[in-house]
């Protein structure tokens, strides 16, 4: 009875102390981004862990002759290991949140921020996986019958460890790929990529997969290992500026200089879409009926380049329709082919007239 009363007193006392401690931590960390984010994440684990530490100390000092004392010690040890694992994972989450707040990506020049966020997110989430693995192994090792399995899980030794390692090979491969991505950074958060012939942005990078937000708000979930083993397009690897093209088929009689002047005027009207680097109009192909005109224009990013190309395509078609309607692609026919031969050039006697095929 005395042990129960002492345990209850210690738990209540340390619960009050943990609340005071977390309140002081939150107040002290209010002016600092890192300490504030970490303190908010550690508030709940500390309020549970401190009473458990006191309870474990009381149970360790209690007599071994008490009923259910061994069971109580084991349950307390299990809960403490779980709380330490929870505390470590919340600490990692607080660090990740502080990095994200200190390096926002919702700014115009966010290349450095995306690099830092990608590295921190992948590395910290990989570390969270190993912390969870160590916590599970530590809980298993508290049981005598499962101690060997826990040691195998922790050290990856023995037949059980080999079986678990073989079964978890895809997970481990993605974890290794995640470390490679964090270090070499072939992709970063908010990168514009083309994966599986789909255009989208990197929305989320986890420890095992990447979420690509496609232009029509669909989500493409791709394993991390994909970006290490297979080729893909990254449109924002160095910077977000890009060059786009427009193709128009027009008649041979179209004068190109007025079209070039109109193109430059249209680009200057939308400075938010055109960055002023590239503006080119060239004839890139020709056939027996028409010529192909290619327009190259540059923009700060791919989204604005798409809008600029659509705007120019519509405006140039309207300009040709309005100013040079006869220069649109046409189908010509030679009317001289159906005329009778003149008197000056009669048909020779040995040449038979062309016969029309039967209808």
Model pLDDT for residues 186-199, shown as the tens digit of each residue: 898 889 999 999 99
Measured over the CA atoms of residue 326, residue 329, residue 335 and residue 336, the dihedral's sign is positive
What region, left, alpha or beta, does residue 81 occupy, with left being phi > 0 and alpha being psi -120 to 50 degrees? alpha
Q: pLDDT band at residue 163, thresholds of 50, 70 and 90? A: very low
pTM, entire model? 0.54
Angle between helices 158-167 and 169-184 (to 10 degrees): 60
For residue 93, the tally of other CB atoms under 10 A from its CB is 18
Nearest one of 112, 52, 47 to 77, comparing CA atoms: 52
58-95, pLDDT tens digit by residue? 777 776 666 677 777 778 888 888 888 888 888 888 88
What radius of gyration, in Å, describes the C-alpha atoms of the chain? 36
pLDDT at residue 349 tops 80: no
The arithmetic mean of pLDDT across residues 166-179, rounded, is 67
Quick one: average pLDDT of 226-231? 89
Strands, E assignment, the chain = 192-195, 198-205, 209-214, 219-223, 233-234, 242-250, 279-286, 291-299
Look up residue 233 and give its two tokens.
Answer: 């397009």
Residue-wise pLDDT for 4-26, tens only, equals 777 777 777 878 887 887 777 77
User: Residues of the chain with pLDDT > 70: what percent?
Assistant: 80
Q: What is the pLDDT of residue 151?
A: 56
Q: How does the average pLDDT of the chain come out, rounded?
A: 79
* Phi/psi of residue 204, nearest 5 degrees: -150, 140
Provide the token pair at 195. 């994966």
Separation in Å, CA 35 to CA 26, 96, 182: 8, 12, 24
Judged against a pLDDT cut of 70, whether residue 167 lies above it is answered with: no
CA atoms within 13 A on the CB side of 234: 15
- Listed in sequence order, the residues at least 6 apart from 150 whose beta carbon sits closer than 8 Å to its beta carbon are 136, 137, 138, 139, 140, 141, 143
Q: Which residues pair with 246 in a beta bridge?
A: 295
* Lowest pLDDT segment from 87-101, 200-214, 338-352: 338-352
- The per-residue pLDDT for 147 is 57
Contact between 240 and 288 (Cβ < 8 Å) = no
Task: Give how far the C-alpha of residue 341 lies from the chain's centroid of Cα atoms, to the nearest Å.
Answer: 73
- The two beta strands, 279-286 and 242-250, are unpaired
pLDDT of 155 above 60: no
Per-residue pLDDT, 358: 41
Q: What angle do CA 151, 176, 117 make, to 5 degrees?
A: 115
pLDDT tens profile 271-310: 999 999 999 999 999 988 899 999 999 999 999 999 999 9
DSSP code of 194? E
Distance CA 258, CA 248 (A): 15
Rounded to whole angstroms, the Cα distance separating 93 from 37 reads 9
- 162 pLDDT exceeds 60? no
Which whole number is the average pLDDT over 245-260?
94
Q: Is the model's pLDDT at 136 over the cut of 70?
A: yes
The CB-side HSE value for 45 (13 A sphere, CA atoms) comes to 20
């Amino acid at each position: 009875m005395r042990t129960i009363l002492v345990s209850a007193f210690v738990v209540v006392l340390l619960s009050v102390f943990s609340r005071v401690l977390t309140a002081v931590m939150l107040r002290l960390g209010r002016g600092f981004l890192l300490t504030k984010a970490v303190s908010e994440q550690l508030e709940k684990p500390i309020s549970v862990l401190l009473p458990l530490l006191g309870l474990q100390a009381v149970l360790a000092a209690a007599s071994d002759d008490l009923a259910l004392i061994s069971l109580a010690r084991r349950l307390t040890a299990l809960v403490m290991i779980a709380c330490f694992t929870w505390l470590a994972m919340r600490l990692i989450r607080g660090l990740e949140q502080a990095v994200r707040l200190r390096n926002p990506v919702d700014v115009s020049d966010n290349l450095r921020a995306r690099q830092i966020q990608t590295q921190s997110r992948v590395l910290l989430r990989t570390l969270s996986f190993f912390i969870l693995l160590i916590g599970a192994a530590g809980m298993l090792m508290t049981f005598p019958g499962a101690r060997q399995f826990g040691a195998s899980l922790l050290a990856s030794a023995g037949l059980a460890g080999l079986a678990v390692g073989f079964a978890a090979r895809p997970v481990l491969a993605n974890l290794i790929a995640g470390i490679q991505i964090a270090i070499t950074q072939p992709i970063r958060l908010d990168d514009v990529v083309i994966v599986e012939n789909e255009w989208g942005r990197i929305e989320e990078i986890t420890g095992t997969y990447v979420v690509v937000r496609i232009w029509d708000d669909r989500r493409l979930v791709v394993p991390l290992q994909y970006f290490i083993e297979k080729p893909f397009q990254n449109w924002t690897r160095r910077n977000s500026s890009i060059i786009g093209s427009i193709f128009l088929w027009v008649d041979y009689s179209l004068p190109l200089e007025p079209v070039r002047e109109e193109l430059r005027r249209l680009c200057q009207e939308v400075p938010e879409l055109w960055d002023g680097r590239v503006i080119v109009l060239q004839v890139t192909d020709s056939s027996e009926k028409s010529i192909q005109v290619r327009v190259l224009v540059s923009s700060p990013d791919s989204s604005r380049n798409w809008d600029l190309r659509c705007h120019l395509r519509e405006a140039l078609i309207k300009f040709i329709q309005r100013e040079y309607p006869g220069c649109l692609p046409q189908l010509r026919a030679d009317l001289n082919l159906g005329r009778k031969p003149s008197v000056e050039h009669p048909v020779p006697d040995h040449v038979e007239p062309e016969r029309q095929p039967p209808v």
